Amino acid sequence: MLIPSDNKLYYYIGFIGLTLTNLLVFYPRYTLTFDQKGGKYILDNLFNKKVIKNFDLESIKEISIKQLESKFFSAVLVLNNGDEIFLDSTPTKDKIQERIDEINEQLNRIKK
Would you give per-residue pLDDT tens digits along the chain (112 residues)?
A: 455 556 677 777 777 777 766 655 555 555 555 555 555 555 555 555 555 566 666 777 888 888 877 777 877 878 888 877 777 677 778 877 887 787 778 777 766 6
CB-neighbour burial class of residue 78 (10 A; exposed 0-12, middle 13-18, buried 19+): middle
Which pLDDT value is given to residue 37? 52
Per-domain residue ranges of the chain:
29-111
Which pLDDT value is given to residue 39? 53
**Following CA atoms 93, 78, 32, 68 in sequence, which dihedral angle do they give, to the nearest 10 degrees?**
40
Which pLDDT value is given to residue 1? 46
Nearest to 88, CA basis, from 70, 109, 62, 66 = 66
Which pLDDT value is given to residue 32? 58
Cβ(15)–Cβ(86) below 8 Å: no
Spatial strand order of the sheet with 51-55 comes to 30-37, 40-45, 51-55
Which pLDDT value is given to residue 92? 77
29-111 maps to CATH 2.60.40: no
Which pLDDT value is given to residue 97? 82
